[in-house]
Amino acid sequence: MPASPVPGGAAAPASHGASGAAGGWGEPSGGPEYPWAPPAEEREVPGRRARERARRGLGSLIAVGLVAGLVGGGVGWFASSQTNERIGGSYVELPTAQKGTTDRPPGTVASIAEAVLPAVVSISVSTESEEDTGSGFVIRPDGYILTNHHVVASALDGGTIEVRFPDARTATAKIVGQPDAQSDLAVIKVDGMSGLVAARLGNSDSVVVGDPVVAIGSPLGLAGTVTSGIISAKDRPVTAGGGREGESSFINALQTDAAINPGNSGGPLVNGRGEVIGVNSAIATLGGGPFGGGQQGNIGLGFAIPINQAKNIAEQIINKGRAVHPVLGVSLDPTYQGVGARIIDDSQARGGQRPVLPGSPAEKAGLQPGDVIVQVDDRRITTSTELVVTIRDKAPGSTVKITYKRGSETRTVDVTLATDAQLNQR
């Protein structure tokens, strides 16, 4: 502890008492004016009084020194504590903000999150060989949950699906019907739970580029994570892994820059009114396509299945046990480098593959091997993937106008779309 004038001052009286025989305060001479004077016989013993005074003085010095140490330590602690509380000689008290409110205006990210989070769940799938995680959202209060096919695909061969709700309740879920790898959608259901909050579904056809959106899910297992951004593009043709080897999903996607990471899959993409407009499903990565190699985190290129398509698939799975898709009935050439989607020719057919399926809508409309499809209704077709997602975005049984090139000639025909189930029956 630093030197202090207080301990020195306390020790000073003991120093004076120890040197009294040498005339510090003077020696009393006895007599009635000094009633405290010692008896004469004691004063007559040479050195006796001096020795006794020395002993008493040493005892007083030790006692006073001990007290001084205690007092000095206490004073030093007090001074130190005051130094910690005082800066520049004055007591410092930082200002406190006024009590605010947690209410947020409608349309803010906070208000949207508050409305939607109760309907968003975390999904864990456990099998003997692996564990997968993802997200989902409640679409009916009686326990139906929409998610991605690739989130629950591993449970198709046996496994456990556990759903965790925002209130920390957990439940085991079962897959409803047949998950749809082509659209990367699946429905699961939990039993024995009541009072579930269902998400409000919007209309993805009303979305425009630049609309603000919020993505909610469980990236890397972090439940209830909220990110925000905008709609970067619409009708973005995306091919993504469907969850099993050899399976691919074709998505006519909504593109967003809201941060989406592994584990967000199956969670909702929400508009400014708190309505679900898409199912977060894929991300672009550096060094690879969606779900490919390279950097696996968010780089601002996320893709969601439009809710209108997802709603249609979910209703079919719940009501009929499986979903059917509109088809044209052609085999496409993935190596074609020109603009459009080219139907393979007979020389490219492999393993019983046919360029144009017999009895298909394409055959009935007069399409032939080698034709290049360049437009469906008012949408320009630049790749095979774009043709697939455009056709799948239509309703089975609907009629579309298809423009194609055959050599130097361009033709347009009306085609009534069938379903994959109908063609498989032939």
Active site residues: 150, 184, 265
Specify whether the CB–CB gap between 282 and 302 falls below 8 A: yes
C-alpha closest to that of 362 among 378, 373, 375? 373
Give the pair of three-digit tokens for residue 316.
């079919």
d(CA 73, CA 336): 90
User: Using H for helix, E for strand and C for coil, what is the string for the chain?
Assistant: CCCCHHHHHHHHHHHHHHCHHHCCCCCCCCCCCCCCCCCHHHHHCCCHHHHHHHHHHHHHHHHHHHHHHHHHHHHHHHHHHHHHHEECCEECCCCCCCCCCCCCCCCCHHHHHHHHHHHEEEEEEECCCCEEEEEEEECCCCCEEEECHHHHHHHHHCCEEEEECCCCCEEEEEECCCCECCCCEEEEEECCCCCCCCCCECCHHHCCCCCEEEEEECHHHCCCEEEEEEEEEEEEEEEEECCCCCCEEEEEEEEECCCCCCCCCCCEEECCCCCEEEEEEEECECCECCCCCCCCCCCCCEEEEEHHHHHHHHHHHHHHCCCCCEECCECECCCCCCCCEEECCHHHCCCCCCCECCCCHHHHCCCCCCCEEEEECCEECCCHHHHHHHHHCCCCCCEEEEEEEECCEEEEEEEECEEHHHHHCC
Residue for token pair 């013993």: 45
Specify whether the CB–CB gap between 356 and 367 falls below 8 A: yes
